[in-house]
Amino acid sequence: MFRSNFKGLCFFAVTYVKDYETAKELVQDSFITLWEKRDTIDLSKPVKTYLTTTIRNRCLNYLRDNKKFNNNIIDIESLQIEAEHADNKLGEKELRGRINDAIGELPEKCREIFVLSRYENMKYQQIADMLQISIKTVETQMSKALQHMRERLADYINVLLIILTEILMRNKF
């Protein structure tokens, strides 16, 4: 798990602390904490989610504890944040295009069920009633659609994490 996730989690941490060496330390500390608390972690939730949350919190604590009050640094960081926001908008646009492409590749009924569930926020039973099919068919088609989406968007997991983090941070403050 460490080898396969370390690099991506470091890039995730860099979005907060802006220093790769600090990010590496925070990620390593998070893995150590994971190992130390392995007996108390709820395994019904994905471990990567636990790690991402731990790393985010460690980054925020690091920023709080090492806050710099030099106005020049703050101005430069503000410019960097604006530039990164513009980059993320481009990444977001590309990601939306990939999502739409992946949805377009789904078979017609599968796509219809996926769109009703994810974009129209309909429950499986509502979809089954509307399309006059069994709820089991809806579950099967959604499972196929989600598997297809996971496969097609696997390369964008880091972009998704960054975008979701930004959305959460914007809504938090």
120-166 residue pLDDT tens = 888 999 999 999 999 999 999 988 988 888 888 777 666 666 666 66
Show the domain range for 60.
Answer: 1-67
If one counts the domains in the chain, the total is 1
CATH number of the domain residue 19 falls in: 1.10.1740
Domain assignment present for 33? yes
Question: d(Cα 136, Cα 49) in Å, to the nearest integer?
Answer: 29
Does residue 52 lie in a domain region?
yes
Do 124 and 117 form a contact (C-beta atoms < 8 A)?
yes
18 inside domain: yes
Residue 49 domain flag: yes
In sequence order, the 6+-apart residues with CB closer than 8 A to the CB of 166 are 85, 88
Q: Does the predicted TM-score (pTM) go above 0.85? A: no
Q: Is residue 56 part of a domain?
A: yes
Written as six digits, the tokens of 159 are 């972009």
pLDDT digits (tens, 9 = 90+) for 3-62: 888 888 888 888 888 888 999 999 999 889 888 888 887 777 777 788 888 888 888 888
